[in-house]
Amino acid sequence: MARQPASRDQRATVVYGMLGFVLIVVVLQLWLLTATMNAFLGGDDGVVTPAAIVSIVCLALNVGLLRYLHRLER
Amino acid sequence: MADETITTPPDRSPADQQPAWREDFPIDWPQDQYVERRDFMKFLVLTSGALAVGQLWIAGQNWLRKARGLPPRRRIASLADLPVGGSLVFQYPEELDNCVLVRVAARDVVAYSQKCTHLSCAVIPRPDQGVLHCPCHEGLFDLRSGSPIAGPPSRPLPRILVEIRGEDIYAIGIEIRTI
């Protein structure tokens, strides 16, 4: 059975949900960047690599959501 | 999907209750809002990418700092050049890295990077008050420990490790601290 394309209201609901999620993730990344910079300037290099990995994962998550939204519009 | 072609006014009231000009300039507000949110999400993803690049930049700088290794040992002054309570500026480990050396007792000296940890202004030693003063934003650091005691700085000054051998004072390393 072919999948019905999402209606406009459905897409609007999805984009609002995604927007909220992406906003939270970006705020988390911003906090992570400031905390990592503070630690780096203080000579604490133990957090630098894990923080970079977490930030890349957050970016991948956000890009994945954006790609999903584009798929939804087709 | 026929409803997607209907022009919907912002208050979603029937067409006969809308002003006449809306027929000439129809705007589909729900669709407009959808596109706005989608574009905002694109912008947020771009911001997320910029933040991730920033993290990678810090990781790169950290790698470079490790690759540089320990700073060299260098003679910076003689005890004879520095009276008790006196101070002098020297460069360590590079030529542009100004540091300040203070003689606090006959055989006791302390040295710190001269860059304030707030916005990199040059700190001025005040041995008589037991502090290092940053004139830009009235920051104060404890002379004995380099810890911030007043003003906006939140991190201590990087401490230059010093060693006294005979009458000579040597810088032997840098200790960067968060607390």
pLDDT tens column, A3-58: 677 777 778 888 899 999 999 999 999 999 999 999 998 888 899 999 999 999 99
Mean pLDDT along residues B58-76: 91
Q: pLDDT-based confidence at B140, cuts 50/70/90?
A: very high
Q: What is the mean pLDDT of residues B62-81?
A: 89
Facing B40 at nearest CB: one of A19, A48, A55: A19
The residue type of B48 is S
- Mean pLDDT on B134-146: 95
The DSSP symbol for B58 reads H
CB B47 within 8 A of CB A27: no
CB contact under 8 A, B55 and A42: no
Query: Does residue B128 contact residue B85 with C-beta atoms inside 8 Å?
Result: yes
Residue B112 or residue B11, greater confidence:
B112
Six token digits for residue A45: 């290099």
Q: Do the strands B87-91 and B98-105 form a parallel or antiparallel pair, or are they unpaired? A: antiparallel
CB B170 within 8 A of CB B156: no
- Examine the predicted complex and report whether its ipTM is higher than 0.85: yes
Tokens 């909220």 belong to: A20
Q: B178 to chain A: nearest residue by CA?
A: A42
Decide if pLDDT at B176 tops 50.
yes
Q: What is the mean pLDDT of chain B?
A: 88
Residue B1 has pLDDT above 50, yes or no: no
8 Å CB contact of A19 and B44: yes
> Considering only CA atoms, which of B41, B44, B64, B62 is closest in space to residue B52?
B44
Residues of A with CB under 8 A from a CB of B: 5, 7-9, 11-12, 15-16, 18-19, 22-23, 25-26, 29-30, 32-33, 36-45, 48-49, 51-52, 55-56, 58-59, 62-63, 65-66, 69
Burial class (CB within 10 angstroms; exposed 0-12, middle 13-18, buried 19+) of B79 = middle
